Structure 1
Amino acid sequence: MVTAPFSHLENARSRMQLALRQPWDPSAAPPREFARLFPATTQVLIRDTREQLDAIAPALSSLRNGPGWYLACQPSIPAIDLDLPPGASNLADTETSEGVLDLVSAEYDALLAESAKLACDQPARGELLDVAIQAAREQVRRLAPSMADCQHVHLMRGPFAAPLQGPFAEAWIAGLHQVDNSQASSLRRVRRLLDITGHSDKTVEAVYSAVDPGTGSPPHDQDLVVVLAPATPGAPHWAVVDWPNTNQGTDQGWTDQTVLVADSPGEHTLLLAVTPISIGRPRITPVRVNPGGRSFAFGTTSNTAISTYLNLLERVIAPIPATQLAIFTKSHRDVNHRLWQAISTTTGPLRITWPDLQRWARNDLEAGRRVRAVT
């Protein structure tokens, strides 16, 4: 029982050695360690590693009897160097939690970019980045008083997957730029994207970017759309979508002519914002899922449909008052909630104009206040 955590501590020792001592950027002059590039996140890793050591030390020291071979071979606690390299920035020098949040969130963006451009043939670096990204994400959650009211809420957004159905989905893909499939498929970003969304067993048919590769924008800075081949004959293609978390919401640029469209009722749907422009084809962009979400849904009252509802409410009412959130997420939604009715009862193609969305969201907020007043 006691020996089980030692493999984790050995992994922690390897990660910390790579973070604190081995050059991460050997091309720099002088070469720079991970801890110098990401000092705030490194200190979070140090704290977490110390907590692991503190948790296991008492259990190990309390072993006084047992099978002779076990005591003779009793492992010692791995020696892990947990000192920042000289000159690395120290979180203790940052006076406010807001300042720390800014530092960690900036590093979170940079870690995502670093991971996105990393090839699959560098597992040690990949493991360190995975742990660091998770640590930075959890630190943002700890420091942000309310993620709904936090300027860093975009850090919590994730990828999503949905079938490509309907003319607007086809037009959206047609407006993207195809990138080199073999190059993109060798990136950890693509492999992890498929793993996270549960599509690692699917065949990648094409990879697209919202940015023309000829502009010189590196792959890790681009929205990425992986199109998967149909699972069975006659089934639709699927799109797995990822975007750099440095981007804020996609509702910037919506106008009174913008229409939100979705063509596949049920648990998985692609929600697009279609905005006419003066010249050429309309601008079509996917609406981003909320933290923890993997898709949108309509024509149902499922949890995914509720998440879709909250996502659209937040486009108008940000943040949603805490007193109203319980009303929107529980059983108090009724025929007076116009936006909820559109999402939950539409059985054909979904079409919501931006003016209607604003009007219905405010109507639902007022209906929620009335519900709260009588309950």
Structure 2
Amino acid sequence: MSSNRSLPPLYTLPQLARRARISEGRARALHTAAAGSRLPAVDRTDADGRPLWEETTIDAWCRVSGRDLPAESDWLFHAPDATEPAPLLYHGAAARPAGRGRSGRPIHAIVWDTPHGHVIYVTWLHGVHRAPVPERDQAALVAAELIAPRFHADALIVLVPDLVYSRTATENVTVDLYRLRPAAAGVGAGNGEPTVDWRGQVAPTEVARVIGTPLPLWIANTCRREELDRARASLGTTLTVPDVLSAWPATLARLRAAHDTGLPTSHPAAYALLLTDAAGTLATVRQLHIALPTSGPGWYLAARPAAPNLPLDLETDLAFLSTQPAPDPAQLTADLVALRGVEPDLPADADEGDAYAHAVTLLAAALADHDPALAADTVTVVSGDLAGPVTDAWVDTFSRHPDAAQVLRTRRGRRLLGRMSPSRTELFTDPAGRLIALLDEGRDTRQFRAEWPLGLPVGWGERTVIAIDHDGSYGPALALTPAEGGLRVDPVPVSPDRIGTDLLYGYGGGGPLAFYAALRRVALAEHRSLDGHTHPPHGSDLFAAISATTGPLRLPWPQVERWARQDTARHLSS
């Protein structure tokens, strides 16, 4: 089979008028009516903001408003309303073997037999295959194989996209409409396979009225093979399925682990923050569950995540918390320091590990105003290439870790390596005790993954230079300071609001902006992110130096500090 990836034609207002067989003046009057446009909702606009409509949108509007339909319209719009549900020919999973352009991943399909042609419903099936979700037209091709070729010309394929689990998930739902062209009439003539054409989008009501039953809609990751038997047995009914979508399962797991490992007594301030955080998540997810409708015009929700539930012992803890004063800064500080010392060295699979890590995050946020230096005194993980003399100097400061195997079994080691294999890793520490893994991936340049500071550095001065290697690949941002006994090499701390963004230069994108924010934050000795002033002002010499430099980058630190202060003055005067 082959597919046609071209978009359906879009109609301007005059073209809509001709297709709907009304005058252009009448169409403009309907579109500009004082009470709001009486034409169908606009699908797109052109570069000048003028409205555009899909063919299926116009035809559906003509049908609903009682206007004559063009003879070439899909039979979906000409067919009368069904008086009873159409016969169900197939309901289950379907797939094509993996191959060129095919993922092999199954879909969920339903086939109805109407007097006008087959209607084939398609949506994604989750949790059954590691292959990526197939492209929409490939999913339509899978559906086409569920009926005999002699029925292809009259078949309609209705692809129903996954819904996002949110309060607005079911607002303005549309489904994609596909048609099949026999091979003799399509691009693939001679190969015995039909061509799939995307016709546009329609409301579920347009399909439901010709099959005599509402379409099932699925929230992403709820349509799973284990639910299909239940769905077949209860068409039209909303199933309750395990919640794998909201933040509540992870939140509850953390709270349960914290409770069961004694955190309420060992670190009461941390447990109080976990309880408060869980209460907020519980309230949010409960409201989402209540607000999510289970049916609407032409559709019903096939499955919804189970309502969140707080076990009685944890509910009792939450009730007790409401009678207690908020933890004071001394309690918060003590628990933050203690848990930062304990959590990294826990076994990688420790039940309480995620609870401790989340508690550390909450404690740091709670102390951000009281002790911003302590709050920021942590690390993230940065990866990159060892690309030249600057990184060579950095590597020269490393010491081989004496017990790499043990460290890599901890949460700290697991965070450092991510998905990298320990078997191809050498583990080191820098002079501050931070971990660095050097990875042998068989490339021309070696890669690293390193614990990278967020806290402000100490000891940068007039002889410090900010340096990045650039020799076909980018090295990390490092600060070089001459010191007794050799060169001191420090990582340039990342800004807390730019974690995960590489510090780059030589162009005007996100990497250079993250580099600018990092340098300016350190130059101004701000422990937190520079709220509202992370983008460079017009005429920034600092950003010009970052974005315009090609080849190796070298910025004297005193100059960076002067430029940072100039940018602050520009922000204040603007």
Greater per-residue helix proportion: 1
Pick one of 400, 423, 430 that aligns with 1:210: 430
Counterparts of 1:183 and 1:112 in 2: how far apart (Å)? 19
Structure 2: which amino acid aligns with 1:173?
Answer: V
Counterparts of 1:297 and 1:6 in 2: how far apart (Å)? 36
Contact 2:462/2:558 (<8 A) preserved: yes
Alignment of structure 1 residues 213-362 onto 2, 5 Å:
222-230=433-441, 232=443, 234=444, 236-242=445-451, 248-250=455-457, 252-264=458-470, 269-278=475-484, 280-291=485-496, 292-294=498-500, 295-319=502-526, 326=532, 329=535, 332-334=537-539, 337-362=540-565
Pick one of 120, 127, 141 that aligns with 2:365: 141
Shift of 1:108: 3.6
Counterparts of 1:76 and 1:339 in 2: how far apart (Å)? 50
Deviations 1:261-297 (A, max 9, x none): 111289954111111123x211111112111423311
Shift of 1:163: 1.1
Shift of 1:260: 1.2
Pick one of 158, 168, 189 that aligns with 2:390: 168
CA 346–6 in structure 1, closer or farther in 2 if over 3 Å, else same: closer
> Which position in structure 2 is the counterpart of 1:183?
406
Contact 1:222/1:244 (<8 A) preserved: no
CA 182–275 in structure 1, closer or farther in 2 if over 3 Å, else same: same
Contact 2:466/2:555 (<8 A) preserved: yes
Counterparts of 1:139 and 1:108 in 2: how far apart (Å)? 6
Structure 2: which amino acid aligns with 1:141?
Answer: A
Contact 2:388/2:469 (<8 A) preserved: yes
TM-score (structure 1 length as normaliser): 0.69
Counterparts of 1:59 and 1:302 in 2: how far apart (Å)? 36
Q: Secondary structure at the match of 2:483?
A: coil
Greater per-residue strand proportion: 2
Counterparts of 1:59 and 1:359 in 2: how far apart (Å)? 50
> Which position in structure 2 is the counterpart of 1:81?
313
Is 1:112 the counterpart of 2:340 in the alignment?
yes
> Which position in structure 1 is the counterpart of 2:157?
none
Counterparts of 2:281 and 2:312 in 1: how far apart (Å)? 11
Q: Secondary structure at the match of 1:312?
A: helix
Counterparts of 2:394 and 2:475 in 1: how far apart (Å)? 14
Shift of 1:253: 0.8
CA 164–333 in structure 1, closer or farther in 2 if over 3 Å, else same: farther
Shift of 1:187: 2.0
Identity of aligned residues (%): 23
Counterparts of 2:503 and 2:531 in 1: how far apart (Å)? 19
Shift of 1:194: 3.0
Shift of 1:5: 3.7
Aligned residues: 317
Contact 1:333/1:340 (<8 A) preserved: no
The unaligned stretches of length 5 or more in structure 1 are: 23-32, 63-73, 212-220
Counterparts of 1:56 and 1:348 in 2: how far apart (Å)? 50
Counterparts of 1:275 and 1:91 in 2: how far apart (Å)? 53
CA 240–103 in structure 1, closer or farther in 2 if over 3 Å, else same: farther
Counterparts of 2:559 and 2:313 in 1: how far apart (Å)? 58
Contact 1:184/1:207 (<8 A) preserved: no
TM-score (structure 2 length as normaliser): 0.47
Counterparts of 2:339 and 2:309 in 1: how far apart (Å)? 30
Deviations 1:106-138 (A, max 9, x none): 534433332211223xx342xx33134224424
Q: Which has the larger radius of gyration?
A: 2
Q: Secondary structure at the match of 2:387?
A: coil
The unaligned stretches of length 5 or more in structure 2 are: 1-238, 292-305
Q: Secondary structure at the match of 1:159?
A: strand
CA 297–207 in structure 1, closer or farther in 2 if over 3 Å, else same: same
Deviations 1:188-239 (A, max 9, x none): 21222333xxx5368643111125xxxxxxxxx931111112353x2x1122
Shift of 1:140: 4.1
Contact 1:268/1:296 (<8 A) preserved: no
Structure 2: which amino acid aligns with 1:207?
Answer: L
Deviations 1:296-318 (A, max 9, x none): 11112111211111111122224
Contact 1:267/1:296 (<8 A) preserved: no
> Which position in structure 1 is the counterpart of 2:242?
4
Counterparts of 2:308 and 2:465 in 1: how far apart (Å)? 63
Q: Secondary structure at the match of 1:182?
A: helix
Counterparts of 2:524 and 2:491 in 1: how far apart (Å)? 20
Contact 2:333/2:367 (<8 A) preserved: no
Shift of 1:57: 7.2
Counterparts of 2:400 and 2:409 in 1: how far apart (Å)? 16
Contact 2:343/2:353 (<8 A) preserved: yes
> Which position in structure 2 is the counterpart of 1:25?
none
Contact 1:274/1:282 (<8 A) preserved: yes
CA RMSD of aligned residues (A): 4.2
Q: Secondary structure at the match of 1:47?
A: helix
CA 282–58 in structure 1, closer or farther in 2 if over 3 Å, else same: closer
Contact 2:364/2:375 (<8 A) preserved: no
Shift of 1:242: 1.0
